[in-house]
A and B are shown apart, each in its own frame.
Chain A
Amino acid sequence: DTEVTQTPKHLVMGMTNKKSLKCEQHMGHRAMYWYKQKAKKPPELMFVYSYEKLSINESVPSRFSPECPNSSLLNLHLHALQPEDSALYLCASSQDYYGIYEQYFGPGTRLTVT
């Protein structure tokens, strides 16, 4: 099983809403990632979790709050978002953060903030 799943596939939320994105992998990977991707642009790294600990936060606004409840699950909690936060949010995982391991990407959640 080389699959990373993400739910929901689409999400529309108002600027005052609170919502969460979910990512799951069952490959035993110890590193998980959140990326933001705007249309026709490459993914931009937001957060990295390594062994369930937050390793990297790429200066992401606090209205995005990541959580890694266990080694298989990664959440991204959203609160008071802005319209410019509308994008495709990708989750990825790799066997480890170091070393030449492939990153496996999920299909993404397409977020629209109204």
Chain B
Amino acid sequence: AQTVTQSQPEMSVQEAETVTLSCTYDTSESDYYLFWYKQPPSRQMILVIRQEAYKQQNATENRFSVNFQKAAKSFSLKISDSQLGDAAMYFCAYRSANYGQNFVFGPGTRLSVLP
């Protein structure tokens, strides 16, 4: 079975600074997808960024980028120019490419942004 680990239960960053959230996963599959989801307090969960395992290029979405290290099974999220609205719970998630949309979520990292 696949597992996802987020070793930082809580993190904080100064506004306008850069922060990196870590995620590692364990799988024996070669084809899969990885996601970062953001859940702000009392608001709905939204997709931040996703990465297909077969793509070597790291995904980027505006201020958000990932460092995908397939051999190390690592998938960290970098947030540049942090904004107050980035404060949220961030979940790393794994999904097999061979089956349906059953996510394996990590335990989450709560990010605080300090003004």
- Decide if A48 touches B50 in the complex (CB within 8 Å): no
Closest Cβ of chain B to A92, distance in Å, is 8
- Decide if B47 touches A103 in the complex (CB within 8 Å): yes
With A41-B107, A42-B106, A100-B52 in contact, is A105–B101 under 8 Å at CB? no
- Decide if B107 touches A56 in the complex (CB within 8 Å): no
- Give A48 to B105 CA distance when docked, in angstroms: 16
- Decide if B50 touches A100 in the complex (CB within 8 Å): yes
The dominant DSSP class at the B interface is loop
- Decide if B44 touches A94 in the complex (CB within 8 Å): no
- Give A80 to B16 CA distance when docked, in angstroms: 49
- Report how many A-B pairs have Cβ atoms within 8 Å: 51
**A50 within 8 A of partner (CB):** yes
| Interface 1/0 per residue, A28-64 and B, CB below 8 Å | 0001010000001111010010100001100000000
Closest Cβ of chain A to B48, distance in Å, is 11
| Interface 1/0 per residue, B78-115 and A, CB below 8 Å | 00000000000101000001011111011110100000
From the candidates B43, B91, B97, B99, name the one contacting A42 in the complex (CB within 8 A).
Answer: B91
Closest Cβ of chain A to B102, distance in Å, is 6
- Decide if B108 touches A97 in the complex (CB within 8 Å): no
Residues from chain A with a CB closer than 8 A to the CB of B33 are: 100
- Decide if B101 touches A97 in the complex (CB within 8 Å): yes
With A100-B52, A105-B44 in contact, is A42–B108 under 8 Å at CB? yes
**B45 within 8 A of partner (CB):** yes
- Give A17 to B26 CA distance when docked, in angstroms: 42
Given contacts A56-B102, A103-B103, 7 further A-B contacts (CB under 8 A): A4-B44, A42-B91, A43-B105, A48-B100, A90-B45, A98-B100, A100-B97
A residues within 8 Å of B by Cβ?
4, 31, 33, 40-43, 45, 48, 50, 55-56, 90, 94, 97-98, 100-103, 105-108
B residues within 8 Å of A by Cβ?
33, 43-47, 50, 52, 89, 91, 97, 99-103, 105-108, 110
